[in-house]
Structure formats: structure tokens, C-alpha cells
Amino acid sequence: MNSIFPEQSNQTFVGCQRCKDDQLLGFDIAFAYQPIVDLGSRSIYAHEALVRGPNGESAFSVLSQVTDANRYVFDQACRVEAIRGAAELGLKELLSINFLPNAVYQPAACIRSTFEAAQRYKFPIERIIFEVTEGERVQDRPHLVNIFREYSRFGFRTAIDDFGAGYAGLNLLTEYQPDIVKIDMELVRNIDESKPKQAIVKGIVAICAELGVRLLAEGIETMAERDFLRNAGIELMQGYFFCRPAFRAIGVFDPKVWD
């Protein structure tokens, strides 16, 4: 594997009509970047690319414009723009990109623009994590599992988002073990005060340890949440307690968040 592409990237990509369509998205997008911290090494582990409008408008304002007709083009545009923005900011850590599994028709074909963007902006693909976008309703779980497996084969890292909510449950984990599992923020919220949440999260910690999967707790907003989760054995965390998303910038946070 070289610094940009895995050996598989030299293959001839299987095409589909969607890849041949030269369709414009019809609206502009930009990205904010939120750091994911590693409490164990007291460092930044990765940055998640969060879609925004061109002037920093909310993700909801952007996603409300996504339809069945432009879903594929939107998904492809997000990948390219997230990589371009990360490269321009000089990010050296991992980059986590949300993707729409219902917009991926053939994994080997639909990944082409990602490889091209990585090459154009000199961003190594081994530093890219693909995670299912928050709130996306997965219509075909075997299809999602196939996408994840193909992305792993190409050299990308993978993450299951919102674990414990909706599609992202134990059944999915039995079929595919990603690099990272992100615990749903509803389980994180006020976990220091909730015995049921504590029991569930401790169970997830044990399961992922057995499977060799790293856990990430997202939505951390208080020191008490951070401390409980750290004591439970979780080192990767993300949330407003550490740093809010920074629009077209790298977030800066107070070093005191480690203590």
C-alpha cells in the first residue's frame, strides 16, 4: 500500500449509470470539523466532518434539501468536500466522514470519487474513517454490511454510529465488526445519574472488548459524563465538553479538559 491508495485502487472500477450522470447538486455545502479526543494518550485521535451550509447554516438546513433524486450526488459531493477541506486545513489526524448507505449502489463504483479526491488533495485513505450518517434509515442491512466490508478491503477504517439506537444494534455487530463503535448520545446523556444507562454501557464495553472493537462515546457535555465513561474503560470521546465543531477550521480546546 502506498501513502495514498491501496493496491486495490488500481483495479478497474465497475461502473453504473449513476457514476456516469454529470448531475450538479444544486446547492452549496461546506464542513465544520469536530475533534475526537483520545483520553489515554491525551491527544486528538480524529476530526469528524459535519456538513453545513456555505455560510455555516445548520446540518438540518442542508439535509432537508436532500431527496431521492439528488441523494447520490449529495453523498459524493460530501466526501469530496470533506477531504478537500481537511487537506486545506492541514489535518494530520484521522478524518471521519459520514456516508449515506442508501446512496451507494455498488461499493466499488461509488468509491471512485473518494479515491480521486484523496489523490487530488494528497490525503492518505488510511486516515479516512467512514461512518453511517446520523439518522440515516438503512433499508437493507446486508447491503450496509457489504459496503463496510468493501471499504475495509480498500483500506478505509469503518465506524458504526449511534450504537444502541435504531439500525445500529447488536444484530448488525454480529454480522460486521468495525474499527470503531460510537455509542448513541442518548445513552451518554446524564449517564452518571442513570443506573440503567450505566449497566447497558458497561455491557457494550465488555462486548466490544471481546470483539476487539474500539468504543467512542459521543455527545459528552459534562465532566461527570466524561469521568464515568473514562472509568468504564472508554478512551475515545467527542462532544461540546471538549470542543464544539469549528466551521472551516480546526477546533481549539482548553487543555484542562484532560484533567
Q: Look at residue 7 and tell me if it is in a domain.
A: no
- Quote the pLDDT of residue 207: 94
Q: Look at residue 231 and tell me if it is in a domain.
A: yes
Tell me how far CA of residue 102 lies from CA of 24, 88, 204, in angstroms: 19, 29, 27
Residue 21 has pLDDT above 90, yes or no: no
Lowest-pLDDT range of 61-65, 117-121, 252-256: 252-256
Q: Look at residue 256 and tell me if it is in a domain.
A: no
Q: What pTM does this model have?
A: 0.88
Tell me how far CA of residue 10 lies from CA of 108, 128, 154, in angstroms: 12, 18, 10
Residue 46 has pLDDT above 80, yes or no: yes
Q: Where are the alpha helices (DSSP H) in 26-90?
A: 59-63, 71-89
Angstrom distance (rounded) from CA 170 to CA 119: 36
Residue 144's pLDDT band (boundaries 50, 70, 90)?
Answer: confident
Displacement of CA 125 from its chain's centroid (Å): 14
Lowest-pLDDT range of 32-41, 86-95, 248-257: 248-257
Q: Look at residue 5 and tell me if it is in a domain.
A: no
Q: Which domain CATH number covers 235?
A: 3.20.20.450
Q: Look at residue 4 and tell me if it is in a domain.
A: no
Q: Look at residue 258 and tell me if it is in a domain.
A: no
Mean pLDDT of 234-254: 93
Q: Look at residue 153 and tell me if it is in a domain.
A: yes
Tell me the per-residue pLDDT of 170-218, one tens digit each, with 9 for 90 and over: 888 899 999 999 998 999 999 999 999 999 999 999 999 999 999 999 9
Residue 96 domain boundaries: 13-250
Number of independent structural domains in the chain: 1
Q: Look at residue 144 and tell me if it is in a domain.
A: yes
